[in-house]
């Protein structure tokens, strides 16, 4: 009887091995999940840096006095301790004074066609002075519908007059103009 009581109180070797296999499989799943999270973090960091580089290139071109030429250009840049390669394609839009810039960025050591980020921006010149009223888009090369009909000049919206509230009801008193003084 004493011998039967001892066998019932412990685990057999098979039970211990089965428990170890189950724990090992669970740990493999946890290790794979942590590795995937680390890979995602590196990818998102690189994608963010590539986006910043593309935005910097677009901003630098916008700050130039003259519009960028309609052509493709590329260069390498050192950023965040790594070499990056950017490519910019400038194309003319339907509006003569507006050019589109598409910038793609990839790590310099990765092959062509593996861009991490692509940013589009525009370079435009003013068609008229600020506040000059109605402008006509005479520089357009046709409408999007392709029928050649222009909708006419772009007109600014008219400001609606708001009724004035008496002083002391939630608004500051009106400032007198020179005519009222």
- The dihedral through the CA atoms of 139, 148, 70, 109 has a sign that is positive
148, 87 contact by CB (below 8 A): no
Total domains, the chain: 1
Residue 34 domain flag: yes
Say yes or no to pLDDT of 8 above 80: no
CATH number at residue 109: 3.30.1300.30
Q: pTM of the prediction?
A: 0.60
Residue 161 domain flag: no
Average pLDDT over residues 75-79: 96
Residue 62 domain flag: yes
Residue 157 domain flag: no
What is the rounded average pLDDT for all residues in the chain? 81
pLDDT at 181 (0 to 100):
46
Q: Output 99 or 181, whichever has higher pLDDT.
A: 99
pLDDT at 143 (0 to 100):
47
Residue 74 domain flag: yes
Residue 162 domain flag: no
The string of pLDDT tens digits covering residues 144-179 is 444 444 455 555 556 566 656 555 555 555 665 555
Buried b (16+ CB within 10 A) or exposed e, 120-139: ebebeeebeeeeeeeeebee
Range list of H helices, 63-163: none
Structural domain range at position 47: 10-124
The CA dihedral of 111, 105, 45, 28, to the nearest 10 degrees, is: -30
Residue 112 domain flag: yes
Residue 20 domain flag: yes
């Amino acid at each position: 009887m004493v011998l039967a009581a001892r066998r019932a109180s412990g685990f057999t070797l098979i039970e211990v091995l089965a428990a170890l296999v189950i724990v090992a499989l669970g740990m493999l799943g946890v290790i794979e999940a942590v590795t995937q999270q680390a890979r995602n973090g590196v990818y998102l960091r690189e994608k963010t840096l590539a986006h910043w580089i593309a935005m910097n290139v677009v901003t630098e071109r916008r700050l130039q006095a003259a519009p960028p030429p309609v052509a493709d250009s590329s260069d390498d840049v050192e950023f965040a301790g790594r070499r990056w390669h950017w490519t910019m394609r400038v194309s003319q839009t339907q509006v003569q004074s507006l050019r589109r810039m598409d910038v793609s960025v990839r790590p310099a050591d990765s092959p062509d066609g593996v861009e991490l980020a692509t940013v589009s921006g525009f370079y435009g010149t003013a068609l008229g002075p600020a506040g000059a009223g109605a402008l006509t888009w005479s520089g357009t090369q046709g409408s999007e519908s392709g029928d050649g009909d222009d909708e006419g000049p772009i007109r600014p919206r008219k400001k609606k007059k708001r009724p004035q509230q008496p002083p002391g009801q939630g608004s500051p008193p009106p400032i007198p103009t020179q005519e009222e003084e």
